[in-house]
Amino acid sequence: MTAWRELIDIRSGLVGGSLLAGVVWLINASHGPAPATTAAAKQFAYTFCMGGLVMRLCTRLALRPGDDRAVLLAAIGLPSLLTIAATLLLHSLRGTPEPLLSTLPATLVAPPSFAVWAWKTHTDGRSPWEDGPDRHSGPGR
């Protein structure tokens, strides 16, 4: 389990997957429950796996040393671009009636979510899900 936790942020995958699957289901509901459920299931599976992976990437980028602006720009920009491109690709495959509209929630949610996550992670020196002291506490700080 530890190896998975280093690769994928499981909690973020579950939370994000559930939220975005619900939104995608609602977007596609007018096409019937089966197509809406297909689109929502794809969104959940994608967000759990890829979203959890990209959140871990965001965390690792935010924890890198360097100029604060450059670190945060990388920690927000790269995960956002990966998320939007992969979501569009996922929904462009067969089974999603409204691929562009189904990509819209990720497009709107990803950059500000990564911005908050990256800023909090960079400031605290750890992921917001992690317990324990931050990098600003301890001896001599």
For residue 4, the model assigns a pLDDT of 66
Q: Does this model's pTM top 0.75?
A: no
pLDDT above 50 for 140: no
Q: How far is CA 123 from CA 13, 40, 63, 87, in A?
A: 22, 34, 9, 29
Of 14, 23, 2, nearest in space to 48 by CA? 14
Contacts for 3 with CB less than 8 Å, ≥ 6 apart? none
Chain-centre distance for alpha carbon 117: 10
pLDDT of residue 63: 94
> Is a pLDDT exceeding 80 seen at residue 6?
no
Residue 35 has pLDDT above 60, yes or no: yes
pLDDT per position as a tens digit, 91-135: 888 777 888 888 888 899 889 999 999 999 999 998 887 765 554
Q: Does the pLDDT of residue 87 top 80, yes or no? A: yes
pLDDT in tens, 65-79: 999 999 999 999 999
Whole-number pLDDT of residue 60: 93
**Structural domain spans, the chain:** 7-124
Average pLDDT over residues 1-19: 79
Q: Which of 6-10, 24-28, 131-135 has the lowest mean pLDDT?
A: 131-135
Mean pLDDT of the chain: 85
The whole-angstrom separation of Cα 116 and Cα 109 is: 11
